[in-house]
């Protein structure tokens, strides 16, 4: 029904307006428990040990999560969990509340089933999100699935003032940690905040991630799993250098990957692509590079580090390709836009069927085993 009825109607609207309609449509399930239960009964896959994942000290009922960017302010975490997502990543939030970059800032490429965005972390601020986590009982898996938060740099803080950048990330991190986020993703790879990707360089990453790890360990309560989200546009040497920092600092995991600034291999008319201009491309055109980065992360960091694969996942076959490349968990955003509210359950059920065909009792038996 979504592909032939609802999606065409939504795609008549500008992308930002369509997203607003989708968020409004999720409101009843977010606020009304019986409707949430009904949504879960319709969309969520049945519990299946073959696709349940235990990693970072957390249990994920399925490995299929919502990527950061869909629910920037934590407005619909319970509804998203009811749709069958095995975990939800909120944000990206920053220490300072900020508006989106000037419109237009979000574009569809239907021929490529892709999106381009240059939103630039619009959000109400990390403290506001933290209060919402507490008020709705989302922390410590209170939504029924792990709920993580992505944190980024406030636009007003210049990258050239590195200590201010570090302090800004710490200011975003501490309130969401205090309110019980199940994991935190450090976003240093968005292409839509000026010069942010320079923070992936090993010396700067070491300062930032090291300080966050120290603050994480030095506060009362259990340390929250910390992950870093990396860009697909880093060359292999840059990826290796950043992964060495991840290993040195002792992060729990890596999210691979963010959106890309590349525009290669698109079927969308070149003039249309040029007219759109700058921004991060997501969807199937990103998949091959994201898979390459997942393989590299797993090979470099081994089994002890959690790897979340993201980039162009729309089907169970896509998700299983990431698992076989080395991902413990997968995320989607653009696939959610194009495939609709049933996508998480369909992917999870398909992954369970694939595990059964492979004779595996769990997806962990298949992680990193492409041959």
Catalytic residues: 190
Give the separation between CA 259 and CA 107, rounded to whole angstroms: 13
Report the distance separating Cα 268 and Cα 110, nearest Å: 8
Nearest residue to 367 via CA among 67, 49, 51: 51
* Backbone phi, psi, residue 241, to 5°: -65, -40
- Is 280 within 8 Å of 259 (Cβ atoms)? yes
For residues 225 and 213, what is the distance between their CA atoms, to the nearest angstrom?
9
Q: At what angle do helices 316-325 and 287-301 cross, to 10 degrees?
A: 30
How is residue 322 written in tokens? Answer: 């990431």
Peptide bond into 96 cis (omega under 30): no
Token couple for 275: 């007219």
Cα–Cα distance, 93 to 3 (Å, whole number)? 31
193 - beta bridge partners?
none
Return phi, psi of residue 286, to 5°: -85, -15
Helices H / strands E in the chain, number of each:
13, 13
Best CA proximity match to 319, nearest among 309, 334, 304, 333? 309
* Cβ-Cβ contacts under 8 Å for 355 (sequence gap 6 or more): 50, 51, 361, 362, 363, 365, 366
Q: Are 189 and 230 in contact (CB under 8 A)?
A: yes
Beta bridge partners of 98: 123
Question: Residue 96's CB: how many other CB atoms inside 10 A?
Answer: 18
């Amino acid at each position: 029904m979504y592909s032939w009825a609802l999606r065409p109607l939504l795609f008549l609207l500008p992308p930002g307006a369509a997203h607003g309609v989708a968020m409004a449509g999720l409101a009843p399930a977010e606020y009304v428990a019986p409707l949430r239960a009904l949504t879960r009964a319709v969309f969520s896959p049945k519990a299946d040990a073959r696709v349940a994942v235990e990693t970072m000290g957390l249990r994920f009922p399925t490995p299929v999560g919502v990527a950061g960017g869909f629910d920037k302010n934590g407005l619909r975490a319970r509804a998203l969990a009811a749709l069958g997502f095995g975990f939800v990543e909120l944000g990206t939030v920053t220490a300072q509340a900020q508006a989106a970059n000037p419109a237009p800032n979000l574009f569809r490429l239907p021929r490529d089933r892709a999106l381009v965005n240059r939103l630039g972390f619009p959000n109400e601020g990390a403290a506001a999100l933290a209060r919402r986590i507490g008020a709705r009982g989302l922390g410590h898996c209170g939504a029924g699935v792990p709920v993580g938060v992505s944190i980024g740099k406030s636009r007003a803080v210049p990258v050239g003032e590195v200590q201010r950048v570090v302090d800004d990330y710490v200011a975003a991190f501490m309130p969401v940690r205090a309110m019980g986020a199940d994991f935190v993703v450090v976003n240093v790879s968005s292409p839509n905040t000026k010069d942010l990707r320079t923070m992936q360089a090993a010396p700067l990453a070491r300062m930032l991630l090291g300080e966050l790890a120290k603050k994480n360990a030095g506060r009362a309560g259990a340390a929250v799993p910390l992950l870093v989200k990396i860009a697909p546009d880093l060359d292999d040497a840059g990826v290796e250098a950043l992964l060495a920092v991840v290993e040195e600092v002792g992060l729990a995991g890596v999210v691979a990957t963010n959106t890309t600034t590349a525009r290669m291999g698109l079927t969308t008319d070149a003039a249309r692509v040029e007219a759109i201009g700058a921004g991060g491309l997501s969807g199937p055109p990103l998949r091959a590079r994201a898979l390459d980065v997942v393989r590299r992360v797993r090979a470099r960091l081994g089994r002890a580090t959690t790897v979340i694969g993201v980039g162009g996942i729309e089907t169970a076959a896509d998700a299983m390709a990431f698992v076989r490349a080395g991902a413990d968990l997968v995320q989607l955003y653009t696939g959610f836009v194009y495939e609709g509210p049933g996508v998480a359950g369909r992917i999870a059920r398909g992954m369970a069927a694939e595990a059964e065909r492979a004779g595996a009792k769990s997806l962990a038996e298949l992680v990193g085993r492409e041959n």
